[in-house]
Chains A and B, each alone.
Chain A
Amino acid sequence: MGHFNSEVLQRAKEVIALYPNPRSALIPLCHLAQEQDGWLTPEAIEEIAQLLDISPAEVAGTASFYDMFHRKPVGRYLVSVCTNIACMLSGGRELLEHVSERLGVAVGGTTPDGMFTLEEAECLADCGSAPVVQVNHRFFSSMTPDSFDRLIEDLASGKLSDTVPPHGVLNRVRREVGLQVPLDELISQRTAMSQAREERARAAQQGQEGRS
């Protein structure tokens, strides 16, 4: 028995089918694994390796390059506070201090109830509304200590469960159709179309020569 449940496994196979080379599905599959488990477990790494026909070390070695893949459990809500230049100029560092105090954890830490993990983020690309916080990669902009406290209460009470799914759920919109045209067919289509264009151009030129 594999580690992925049948729905995730089905989705994984659909994703793999989108790429000319299965290995391209590695990052999307790691996201799917985190959606199922909340983090990237060794069991998921094994299964992804099998699905892509590469070694678990290749999966782990690739995943470890990317900040969004967590090789250890994180809280239900991953709170990312940006302190890069635009946020820094608008109080991002002070906000991070407040968040750390409010949650009672240092950067990298998880609250004892497993609800919140705190991370210091690099620029999240929402600098017109600095300082910026993401929770499970959903944006909360122009944050103040007060608005952050309200955010934490709303998350804890479940008020924001529609906007902020549990950690690991990145994309709730499934691709509705697979690839429509196989590569072989595309190659012959392109060749035929370019030949037709060349013939038209030749015919047009001959027509012009005939008139002159």
Chain B
Amino acid sequence: MAITEAPRIVTAGMDIPDSHTLEAYLSVGGYEGLRKALSMNPEDVANEVDKASLLGRGGAGFPAGRKWSMLAPSQVRYLVVNGDESEPATFKDHMLIERMPHRIIEGALIAAYATQVMAAFIYVRGEFALGIERLQQALNEAYAYNAVGRNIFGSGFSIDLVVHPGAGAYICGEETALLESLEGKRGYPRIKPPYFPAAIGLYGAPTVVNNVETVSNLPWIIRNGGEAFSALGEGRSTGTRIFALSGHVRRPGNYELEMVKTTFRDLIYAPVLGGGIRSGRELKAFIPGGVSAPWFGPDKLDLPLGQDEVGANGSMLGSGSVVVMDDHTCPVRAAWRITHFFWRESCGQCTPCREGSGWLEKIMRRIEEGAGRSSDVDLLLDVCDNIAPELGWPPQQTTICVLGPSIPSSIVSAIRMFEDEFALHVKEGACPYE
């Protein structure tokens, strides 16, 4: 496999100076997708997106077109763009918000037109201060350009768009928690069913929630047609996608690549991508799709970057973020840090998650700090089994949202792949990497 000649879709134009301004965006065909969409029937716009078979880029990978078609009939409906990127090691939306805010606005407006909603909100993670400023600036420009507001481009279609800041809570990336937060409440995920806000969403009205990267694809899809998009990639994983590469590689960063046609080996080792492992070391393990995903060893390097391909191998492509760990990495410490994160970010509604994350964090910490017991690995697996019974993939659900069942991923992976290193911590009474 190799790196293909696929066009850049969501990062196109990002390298030109001041790419966040209207002037720069117009120079790369900005708002032409919206103009074209407004000349079409809303149903036809939605059909193009269906043909593209665009999978959501937030983490769950649900087809965007289907999300739209599930929208319950109602006089009042809403669109919310999810820019609350907080999955550890994921940093693509942050980049798009700061550097390509107009594309997000254009995509949101295309989605709003296709779904005929009454208002649209872009929820941006609170910690993205510059991103919030850039997006607000872009929105001000878009209003002055008549790309948003009353009678957009003379089409007769009107809609308002609001940039809404979050305030620091990982769980608000979960779409029902995000809606609670947007309603001015604590970010508690809502009980399912209903499984989708398309039935009951913002203020109880049918609502579409789409990720920042997902809507950033829409201008290209409308300009070039859904079939041009689905011609890229393979199977269900169509188009391109941003892979956020971090950890022990020479060239960490965001890379927009054609889905399926590229492998993890390409991403990590190709000189124009990751450039290989830093400091001449060897690969020990990698996380293929955000810290909620089970880890892979070097034997999985030749898997393609595709949703179903990764899913069939017991993990997920998730948020598209790949974390690389070299052979000097302590797997206990890595898994402990991830567990520590989930413990801090558990919203506290469900017992398996709230209590389980705390117990797991304590046990992992004591092993890493040299106070582990020989029975601790069994205890860890037992607690994990209480959160996600049978420890399979995808995990079984014991809680309102998927945060809880995501907690065991890193611990179970570390134990299955490196159980001898847990034993070594206990035997030596210290972390062997210290």
A residues in contact (CB < 8 Å) with B: 18-21, 23-28, 30-31, 52, 61-63, 65-69, 80, 83-86, 88-90, 122-130, 134, 136-139, 170-177, 179-181, 183, 185-187, 189-190, 193-194, 197
Contact = CB atoms under 8 A, between A and B. Distances in A.
Contacts of B60: none
A115 B16 CA distance: 37
Contact of A176 (B88, B143, B347): B143
Interface residues of B, number: 76
Given A86-B252, A137-B129, A171-B165, 11 more contacts: A24-B182, A84-B341, A85-B323, A85-B338, A128-B244, A170-B165, A171-B136, A176-B144, A177-B140, A183-B76, A190-B116
B72 interface: no
Nearest to A175: B136
B168 A67 contact: yes
Most buried by B among A23, A65, A89: A89
B329 A89 contact: yes
Contact of B344 (A66, A122, A181): A122
Given A85-B334, A128-B254, A173 B162 contact: no
Interface stretch (B149-157, B265-273, B304-312, B398-406): B149-157
Contact of A134 (B127, B159, B169, B183): B127
Nearest to B164: A28
Contact of B334 (A88, A127, A173): A88
B90 interface: yes
Contact of B165 (A27, A65, A122): A27
Nearest to A122: B341
A108 to B, nearest CB: 14
B159 A27 contact: no
A179 B94 CA distance: 26
Contacts of B164: 24, 27-28
6 contacts: A62-B185, A66-B187, A123-B341, A127-B252, A137-B127, A173-B133
B29 to A, nearest CB: 25
A85 B88 contact: yes
Interface string B97-123: 000000000000000000010110000
A197 B113 CA distance: 14
A15 B373 CA distance: 55
Given A69-B167, A170-B165, A173-B137, A122 B345 contact: yes
A84 B247 CA distance: 11
